[in-house]
A and B are shown apart, each in its own frame.
Chain A
Amino acid sequence: MSNPNQPPGIDKVEGLVSGVSFIPKKDMLLIGSRSFKAQMQEEPEDKLVAAAQSGDLAAFNQLVNLYQQRVFNLAYRMLNESEAAADAAQDTFFQAYRALHQFRGGSFKSWLLRIASNICYDRLRVRTRRPTTSLDEMVAEAEKVGGSDLAILEDEDGDPVEHATRRELARELALALQSLPEDQRIAVILSDVQNLSYEEIGTITGASLGTVKSRISRGRLKVREYLHKNQGTFSQ
């Protein structure tokens, strides 16, 4: 962001009003006339967080826009149910907004995903106490999940047999994730579905690096064994 050619003092102003690399002094007068939305789109994350913490709802909603897909997908893979995942994601942002003053820097993404994972744990606990989802419903949901996953898993020019196999595989993958214990499931989802680093997963789950690695490796092994046990097509 810093430009060696820019005059001293501009860096600070630039950080406050815009994320662009250099603002000539004459343009600084025009900043006030730029639309708020345009400014926000250029804001770096920490500026958005600071603005949101000072009560700026538009800034917070920018953060929601940035992370809602990720939060929803975490909840979706954890809960295996679209509507429940949407509720969990909505509650995550409610809770984040309410607790925003408690955020003390670091990775906002990790902080948000930690809230999301806690909410998912709570939902799963309630579900365990009052099991309303039957195995058939779980399979049906997994089929839906598998169906929506097909777009990526299937090859466009694949033959029907291949298509059916891949559909089955996607369904099995969703069920395999559900078969994992919660701590391993969240570790595998964060690592392999969301592509987060071990350190980030440690921050989100509150576990040590060794525990994170252990959960991921055991989770992966269980997914593999589940697929192996339930599907002869795993090796394809």
Chain B
Amino acid sequence: MALGRAAYNIVNQIKAGKENSGSEGDDHRAEWLILISDYIDGTLPEAASQRLKTHLAECAQCTADLEGLRQTVKLLRRLPEVSAPRSFILTPAQARRLRPSPVYRYARVAAAIAAAFLVFAFVLDLVGLFAAPAAQPSAVAVATADPTPTLEAVGSLSGGTNRAGAGSISGLTTNITATATANPTKVATTAPQTQAAASEDLTPIRWVEIVLAVVLIMFASFAFVLRPRAPGRLKI
């Protein structure tokens, strides 16, 4: 009887919003609550069920909780399914916008590959792998004739390649043009042989870079245009 009154008081306290966490009654309640809930769902193992039943026989509070939770579950389970106001089937147009063709994925991969090749080409250009075999003999040839202009010629040549290497992808074309026009004019006054050799040998790598840059921009544009849109922003 006393236990029953205690349970009643606890319920009243909670009802009035005066739940006192950490109190003995709440600890007791929390200890058994999950078991009671599990028991209602029929998922409590047999041994634990027996232990709970023994406890329920002597605890009015937990018995009240069991009954209350059972009724709550019963009510919640009787809540009906509400009919959806419309069908959520996807139209072909929606599907196309949500999941673009595989071209999108290929364009991204192709852009990445083109970017990798472009960087590789820049590095080769910087190292001077393409220019070196032709440029060095010319420089040596000039050096025997006149040492002073040779230094200038080599300096201008390496300066040109550095500028191209340091340039960004977007500024590539202008860099290339600048280098191509700057080198001959500077070199022309000092070492005509060097200029001729350099312009001939630099052309292939420049073309590779230009083509790679164009391909990269093209694939990146594809990937951007065909990118999937977030559902929230869809206007379908």
Contacts and interface: CB of A to CB of B under 8 A. Distances in A.
Interface in B119-158: none
Contacts of B159: none
Q: Is the interface of B mostly helix, strand, loop or mixed?
A: helix
A162 to B, nearest CB: 15
B53 interface: no
A224 interface: yes
Given A214-B34, A217-B37, A228-B11, A223 B72 contact: yes
A188 B95 contact: no
Interface in B66-85: 68-69, 71-73, 75-85
A169 interface: yes
Nearest to B228: A98
B104 to A, nearest CB: 12
A61 B84 contact: no
Interface string A202-216: 000000000001101
Interface in B10-51: 11, 14-15, 33-34, 36-38, 41, 43
Interface residues of B, number: 41
A188, A195, A217 pick with most chain B CB within 10 angstroms: A217
Q: Is the interface of A mostly helix, strand, loop or mixed?
A: helix
A152 B80 contact: yes
A100 B86 CA distance: 23
Interface residues of A, number: 57
Nearest to A234: B71
A65, A71, A229 pick with most chain B CB within 10 angstroms: A229
Interface of A: 55, 57, 60-61, 64-65, 68-73, 76-77, 82-83, 86, 89-95, 97-98, 100, 145, 148-149, 151-153, 169-170, 173, 188, 191-193, 195, 198, 213-214, 216-218, 220-221, 223-225, 227-229, 234-235
List 6 A-B pairs, minimum CB-CB distance, nearest first.
A217-B37, A94-B231, A192-B76, A72-B84, A152-B80, A224-B72
Interface of B: 11, 14-15, 33-34, 36-38, 41, 43, 65, 68-69, 71-73, 75-90, 92, 94-95, 98-99, 228, 231-232, 234
